[in-house]
Chains A and B, each alone.
Chain A
Amino acid sequence: MSSPMPTAGAKGQDAFTAAQAAQDASAKHATRSFKIWRGEAGKGDFVEYKQDVVEGMVVLDAVHEIAATQANDLAVRWNCKAGKCGSCSAEINGMPKLMCMTRLSDLDADKPVTIEPMRAFPHMRDLVTDVSWNFEVKKKIQKFTPRPPDAPDGTWRMQQTDVDRVQEFRKCIECFLCQDVCHVLRDHHKHEEFIGPRFLVYAAALEMHPLDTADRVPELRKEHGIGLCNITKCCTKVCPEHITITDNAIIPLKERVVDEFFDPIGKLVKIYSRRKKANG
């Protein structure tokens, strides 16, 4: 026999359902009020719902309960409900957040919880926005271009310390909350001239990748509009993955742009050292 035979439990109920049902009965309940933005293509208004909630619930749980019992057609985008896919981005009490990682107990219990769609993108329905612009922007960034493999078996050698920095950027779950909060996009609508913090992080991950050989600095300066970012760090504050977007990604990229295009002394040094090499 390969496994223990679980001792007989309550019939008609899975062992865990049985053990946990008893616990569920002891969980604390409360009625909370939610103001959810309902409407289409930018037109709409808040609709208020009262909903019974249980301790430990996150905002997305409440939205699901409301959809299941009061508003079947409430449009909401979500996938994993575990903070890993970045689908359920919204503005909760005015703050850009993931609905699945925002606990109700962290929000003022005396006031209704307001839930709105992200405002930096075209509105579709209720809590859903059209984020397709982000996917188009990504295509415009030069792709990963590795150096030839280091070993005959086609593999590379990299030290952990050399990949740490890029691994931070690759934690990004593409929730686009940083794009939502960026005033260049949100208030000034410069979607044509500026790729936004998400894609500056993406470009930084490629530029600082130990194996990459492409040069994205000229395009960052021109087409991607890195100069438009004036380092207010709002993006860093809202990142659910705690990526230090401004300090670790954007500022180093800005420095590269400066080094390559705007540094007369650096240029002289380069010319001088080149001459020295040629002569020496």
Chain B
Amino acid sequence: MSTPTEYKTVEHDVLVIGAGGAGLRAAIEAAAQGANVGLVCKSLLGKAHTVMAEGGMAAAMGNVDDRDNWRVHFADTLRGGQYLNNWRMAELHAKEAPERVKELEGWGALFDRTADGRILQRNFGGHRYPRLAHVGDRTGLELIRTLQDHGVHQGLDVHMEVTVLTLLKDGDRIAGALAYDRERGRFRVFKAKAVVMATGGIGRAYKITSNSWEYTGDGHALSYHAGAALQDMEFIQFHPTGMIWPPSVRGILVTEGVRGEGGVLKNRDGKRFMFDNIPDNYKAQTSDTPEEGWRYTQGDKDARRPPELLTRDHVARMIVNEVRGGRGSPHGGVFLDIAWIKEKLPNAEEHIKRKLPSMYHQFMQLAGIDITKEPMEIGPTTHYIMGGVRVDGDTQMSTVPGLFACGECAAGLHGANRLGGNSLSDLIVFGKRAGEHAAKFAKSNGTVSIDSAAVDAAARRALAPFDRAASAEGPYQVQEALQETMQDNVGIVRAQAEMDVALQALGSLKDRADKAGVKGNREYNPGWHTALDLDNLLTVSEAITRCAIERKESRGGHFREDYPDKDPAFATFNFVVAKGKDGSMELSREPIPPMPEHLAAVIEEMK
């Protein structure tokens, strides 16, 4: 059983791995450039994690508040990211997002409208003006469906339910990938002149997460093993509002849109604790009274935003603080209340159902809570990784020639903390750029050859779990232990001793993963798939832990109990990991290049 038998070989100019927003946008662009494009996805087309995005996509179109423009968006993104962002990416993102959003409308997307018939924009944490184009609270579904339906008429070759096992190289250059199809369990070799990685995040390394099963850090780990550098891996976003009760729904996302529409956070005593602590760099933009905060959510241009709409890292930590102080809600979180707006709006119930239909539905069906009448109980959930493949800001090419990365699996745009709404816009801005430059790379570079020994070795490694079918432990137990290790030791509040424990535990989990066995056969076998995911999860977990240990300060999504303050000494570089010659993970500090004058001037002006 464990002998690789046959390899079906498929050839493309550009191979895109991952079919969420970024992968689809990259594939569409590469095809538009004339490249022959293959699109590989672990699930069925249109099911990727992008469908779960709720609140919207940030683009400074100024439809609701004409004071908005790319410079404000750029400054907001850097302030949110604590200035560790790749400023070139932040600039391109702020400038190009409006064009990318408008283009979606031309492809059939139907956003909510302003009174004068333009695309409506809503408030979100860390954005100075209403900036998020949205469709109720299902913006991600609109994005992925629009791209999917547009893409199928572009002649993309879609390989559904196919999982990449390893990237293949021809010398230094990328040459394709070895994958397996879920239905039959057969191997497939993809030969490609350029590869775009668009695999999303790593949430499944944690026990409590808003992420789907696919989020196992494949793009991070595959790129790393192919020689690409990863950066900012210590920065993980714990979204402040995940469901917490009943236990089986813990982690499921509750959109920030609830707060954008006027929802407030309260502790056990009914106190709006977010007013207790407002960071200095946001003081000038934050309201001091509930009244002013409410006016802001209702579009009053003279009002400042309520503290509930501060950045996610800060809000999540404030919630932890309440729970640890014994002021939490009955099930170990705090209250998120949107029902209270009935004091302000005559048709509140209808308004909530219209603006937040899936939240209403989700709480009604899964928790038996009517959010138009009662508050929700929420707590932080692992949501997003700011870190990822280190790429060139303009082209999205990694440190490996021909290997590109975009979307969540790439690093740079968000720095130490991502603003809500900047992810969907990231997908379309840099998905397009990655697709365009991958197609150009494929055009200007000749053909590649496949190293069949590397293919054989990878295929043998993939089948090894079947040889251990009699093994005492299955892959699910190892995965669970890994998730608990990361949750407990490298979570929202970190400390040296715990992270040392995690690093050691990861070593022994690696041994357990190497011994875990799988029963059954190769056809649609989730147990086998879980065993194969373990490698990727272990690689990203090690990178996260190593970088988190080295960053001896607190900044953005990374909070150290033993170093609770921001340290300017850590503000000038990014932590980068790469695979050393001996196969071990090597960490380095890469200085952030100085910002050009015209951008520095924007930052100064927006202070």
Contacts and interface: CB of A to CB of B under 8 A. Distances in A.
Interface of A: 1-9, 11-17, 19-20, 22-24, 27, 40, 54-58, 61, 67-69, 72-87, 101, 103, 124-126, 128, 130-132, 135, 138-139, 143-144, 146, 149, 153-160, 163, 166-167, 170-171, 173-174, 206, 209, 211-212
Contact of B324 (A7, A23, A54, A132): A7
A103 B366 contact: yes
Nearest to B114: A160
Contacts of B328: 19
A101 B45 CA distance: 21
Q: Which 6 A-B pairs have the closest CB atoms?
A: A56-B246, A73-B520, A19-B332, A72-B527, A157-B117, A144-B108
Contact of B113 (A4, A128, A132, A158): A158
12 contacts: A3-B317, A8-B561, A14-B488, A19-B323, A75-B523, A79-B48, A79-B214, A83-B365, A84-B52, A87-B44, A156-B105, A174-B46
A135 B156 CA distance: 13
Contact of A81 (B44, B252, B524): B252
Given A84-B52, A155-B102, A174-B46, A57 B248 contact: yes
The interface centre, meaning the residue of B244, B320, B474 with most chain A CB atoms within 10 A of its CB, is B320
Given A16-B332, A82-B253, A5 B526 contact: no
Interface in B243-300: 244-250, 252-253, 276-277, 279-281
Contact of A57 (B102, B246, B276, B362): B246
The interface centre, meaning the residue of B246, B475, B501 with most chain A CB atoms within 10 A of its CB, is B246
B244 A20 contact: yes
Contact of B247 (A56, A82, A159): A56
A163 B49 CA distance: 26
Contacts of B514: none
The interface centre, meaning the residue of A14, A16, A125 with most chain B CB atoms within 10 A of its CB, is A16
A80 B52 contact: yes
B281 A2 contact: yes
A15 B332 CA distance: 9
A80 B110 contact: no
A126 to B, nearest CB: 7
A95 B142 CA distance: 28
Interface string B347-366: 00000000000100110011
B374 interface: no
A15 B324 contact: yes
Given A3-B314, A55-B246, 13 more contacts: A2-B280, A16-B333, A19-B324, A20-B244, A27-B246, A56-B367, A68-B480, A72-B476, A82-B362, A85-B51, A87-B44, A144-B150, A159-B117
A60 B125 CA distance: 33
Contacts of A6: 317, 320-321, 324, 493, 559, 561
Contacts of A163: 110, 112-113
B448 interface: no
B327 to A, nearest CB: 11
Contacts of A74: 526
B365 A73 contact: no
Contacts of A126: 524
Nearest to A57: B248
The interface centre, meaning the residue of A40, A77, A211, A212 with most chain B CB atoms within 10 A of its CB, is A77
A154 B102 CA distance: 8
Contacts of B48: 79
B331 A23 contact: yes
Nearest to B522: A73
B52 A72 contact: no
A15 B320 contact: yes
B153 interface: yes
A156 B519 CA distance: 56
B320 A23 contact: no
A155 B554 CA distance: 43
Interface in B107-129: 107-108, 110, 112-113, 116-119
- Tell me if A's interface is mostly helix, strand, loop or mixed: loop
A121 B328 CA distance: 48
A175 to B, nearest CB: 10
A168 to B, nearest CB: 10
B43 interface: yes
B572 interface: no
Contacts of B380: 16
Nearest to A138: B152
A69 B519 CA distance: 12
B468 to A, nearest CB: 12
B213 A79 contact: yes
Given A79-B214, A167-B135, A146 B559 contact: no
B489 interface: yes
B325 interface: yes
A57 B136 CA distance: 27
B492 A14 contact: yes
A138 B149 contact: yes
B108 A209 contact: yes
Contacts of B250: 20
A258 to B, nearest CB: 26
Contacts of B136: 167
Contacts of B247: 20, 23-24, 27, 54-56
Nearest to A80: B212
Contact of A72 (B317, B474, B561): B474
Interface in B160-174: 160
A20 B113 CA distance: 41
B418 interface: no
The interface centre, meaning the residue of B153, B313, B477 with most chain A CB atoms within 10 A of its CB, is B153
B279 A3 contact: yes
Contact of A170 (B44, B135, B208, B324): B135
B565 interface: yes
A241 B230 CA distance: 40
Contacts of B153: 139, 143
B52 A75 contact: no
Contacts of B492: 14-16
A79 B212 contact: yes
Contacts of A72: 474-476, 518-520, 525-527
Contact of A160 (B112, B497, B523, B564): B112
Contacts of A5: 561, 564
Given A15-B493, A82-B362, A155-B118, A128 B524 contact: yes
The interface centre, meaning the residue of A85, A139, A156, A167 with most chain B CB atoms within 10 A of its CB, is A85
Contacts of A103: 365-366
B573 to A, nearest CB: 19
B47 interface: yes
A160 B145 contact: no
Contacts of B280: 2
Nearest to A69: B476
B183 interface: yes
Nearest to A134: B44
A192 B303 CA distance: 59
A189 B220 CA distance: 44
Contacts of B135: 167, 170
A58 B247 CA distance: 11
Nearest to A87: B47
Nearest to A28: B246
Contacts of B437: none
A101 B252 contact: no
Contacts of B142: 170
A170 B145 contact: yes
B219 to A, nearest CB: 17
Nearest to A154: B102
Contacts of A2: 279-281, 314, 554, 566
